[in-house]
Structure 1
């Protein structure tokens, strides 16, 4: 009797779950939903790593020039299609190559982990996307120190 009741409850639960999945209107986008948009990012953290500080020290609040850094992602049809990079007043670049100025074609390579934000023409990596966060690891003059930018969306 107990088995029959448990089986009946299980079957009814499965049928109700399947019936609720038939309405796919909840997964459709509204017709007035914008698929072309921009998201502006500013530096959230600027971590410095070394042998002693393996979790990193956040330097973002220690230097005002980090507030001027901007990264804008441009979306077309809900996918990243271009990037605009502005180093602002930061006196160094996290890249060992020159980033073209203005809006540059880019894409998010989701076939690798971590996902890579790449320039379309040169295939150079601009940033990595991990756990919902964009980051740029880099080195400066001191070989024993590593750095990493992390970003947050900002309102303009």
Structure 2
């Protein structure tokens, strides 16, 4: 009886380990378009500090966040470019300048979380994790951190 329990326990362990492929859980879905664009808008803007470690959503407090847009361009089912529109937001989440219009980029799936990078540079535009694009950033106050999280607005 003990031998059967041990065999079942080992088989269960091996089965659970083989079913748990962590890379597939964080990589972008294969269901994205072959060629085309997906438009994204801000779903939330989280503000973090040492008191609010889970963050506070401040997107509804400032209407200019509604004007921020990100368009991801696909070619052959892979991300090939991005168009970034800061809209009326009075600051940039980046410490580098993004050229206007379409910028060639790629999704670095070797990094976890996946990184949306400008082609030919080390500049990260956004991170892809748990099915969402996000952009962490800082403003003038060093004790506060922020993060944009996006939703598709194609519908």
- Please confirm whether the aligned pair reaches a TM-score higher than 0.5, indicating the same fold: yes
* Larger RCO (CA under 8 A, 6+ residues apart): 2
TM-score bin (small chain) = 0.7 to 0.9
Partner of 2:114: 115
Gaps of 5+ in 2: 1-32
Q: Which has the larger radius of gyration?
A: 1
- TM-score normalised by length of structure 2: 0.77
Partner of 1:63: 62
Instruction: Give runs of aligned pairs for residues 41-120 of structure 1, distance below 5 A.
Output: 41-120=40-119
Gaps of 5+ in 1: 1-33
What is the Cα deviation at residue 35 of structure 1? 1.5
CA offsets 1:4-58 (integer angstroms, 9 cap, x no match): xxxxxxxxxxxxxxxxxxxxxxxxxxxxxx6201000000010000011001000
Alpha-carbon distance in structure 2 between the residues aligned to 1:52 and 1:126: 28
What is the Cα deviation at residue 155 of structure 1? 2.5
Partner of 1:40: 39
Q: Which runs of 4+ in 1 moved over 2 A?
A: none
Paired residues in the alignment total: 123
